């Protein structure tokens, strides 16, 4: 299993000088190689042999490829994932495809995990084979009541199996964080399963939304991308205070990353 080289539970892309051609060709070069990774992973997934190690390795390839084309990554607080024994619910904001693709190589070597994903990802050409093999929890994002039932039942089952659950409670990806768009579905799941919540703040807007295909936008290689995990939080009562703590952690991190 390929793993990031950490220093004090943190990872930063090493400093380097980008050649001029990378600024012009980073996006097409990235997608050409990225699609190759996805097709290879899907081929393995269709054989039923795409396990956690294969998933982490594929995610690492994408991670490495983003750095090759010029993206700088900063990851902190990885020790907070394992600060408490057993599975957890990781709750983060959602900006781009980047977090879905990179989090396996950050989280899974520490704790086995899966995602709450939109049903459409399980129907996505080629990529669907990869996602289906990872035992995700699929939601509609159009029927909140049904989505809550699905996450509560399937999420608790995954957590009892020892799988941590990564959830992005916003209704859609957004480059600007609005706490009002964060549902409490992740906190409710953690409360029901009696597991801690780990906040996750993300700034991945260097991977923009595409005009024709949302997931295939231009890469802005002059922007730095951040992943920060907060200390685990045990959920008490109805979870309102804990949801506020998650939102506050994300807001404070995003504010600190403006400079």
Within a domain: 115: yes
What pLDDT shows up at residue 22?
67
Residues 19-28: what's their mean pLDDT? 78
In this model, does residue 79 exceed pLDDT 80? yes
Within a domain: 182: yes
Q: Which pTM does this prediction carry?
A: 0.94
What pLDDT shows up at residue 228?
98
- Give whole-number Cα distances, 84 to 22, 78, 81, 88, 150, in Å: 42, 12, 7, 8, 26
Domain count, the chain: 1
Within a domain: 114: yes
Place of tokens 């029901």: 192
Within a domain: 127: yes
CATH assignment of the domain containing 28: 3.40.1130
- Which one, of 230, 258, 231, 219, lies nearest residue 93 by Cα? 230
Place of tokens 């539970």: 9
Q: State how far the Cα of 35 lies from the Cα of 128, in Å rounded to an integer.
A: 13
Domain that holds residue 55: 20-256
Within a domain: 11: no
Within a domain: 13: no
Within a domain: 5: no
What pLDDT shows up at residue 259?
61
CB 164 within 8 A of CB 196: no
Within a domain: 128: yes
What b/e readout covers 5-43, taking b as 16+ CB neighbours within 10 angstroms? eeeeeebebeeeeeeeeeeeebbebbeebbeebbeebbe
């Amino acid at each position: 299993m390929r793993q990031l080289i950490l220093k004090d539970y943190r990872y930063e892309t090493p400093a380097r000088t980008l050649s001029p051609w990378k600024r012009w060709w980073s996006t097409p070069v990235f997608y050409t190689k990225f699609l190759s990774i996805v097709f290879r992973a899907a081929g393995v997934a269709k054989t039923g042999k795409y396990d956690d190690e294969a998933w982490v390795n594929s995610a690492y390839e994408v991670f490495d490829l983003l750095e090759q084309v010029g993206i700088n990554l900063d990851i902190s607080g990885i020790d907070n994932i394992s600060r408490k024994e057993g599975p957890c619910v990781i709750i983060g904001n959602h900006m781009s495809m980047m977090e879905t693709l990179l989090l396996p190589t950050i989280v899974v070597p520490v704790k086995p995990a899966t995602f709450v994903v939109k049903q459409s990802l399980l129907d996505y050409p080629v990529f669907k084979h990869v996602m289906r093999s990872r035992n995700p929890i699929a939601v509609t994002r159009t029927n909140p009541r049904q989505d809550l039932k699905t996450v509560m039942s399937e999420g608790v089952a995954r957590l009892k199996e020892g799988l941590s659950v990564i959830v992005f409670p916003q209704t859609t990806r957004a480059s600007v964080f609005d706490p009002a768009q964060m549902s409490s579905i992740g906190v409710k799941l953690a409360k029901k399963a009696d597991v801690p919540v780990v906040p996750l703040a993300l700034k991945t807007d260097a991977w923009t939304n595409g005009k024709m295909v949302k997931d295939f936008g231009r890469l802005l290689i002059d922007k730095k991308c951040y992943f920060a995990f907060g200390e685990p939080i045990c959920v008490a009562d109805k979870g309102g205070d804990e949801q506020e703590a998650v939102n506050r952690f994300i807001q404070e991190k995003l504010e600190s990353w403006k400079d």
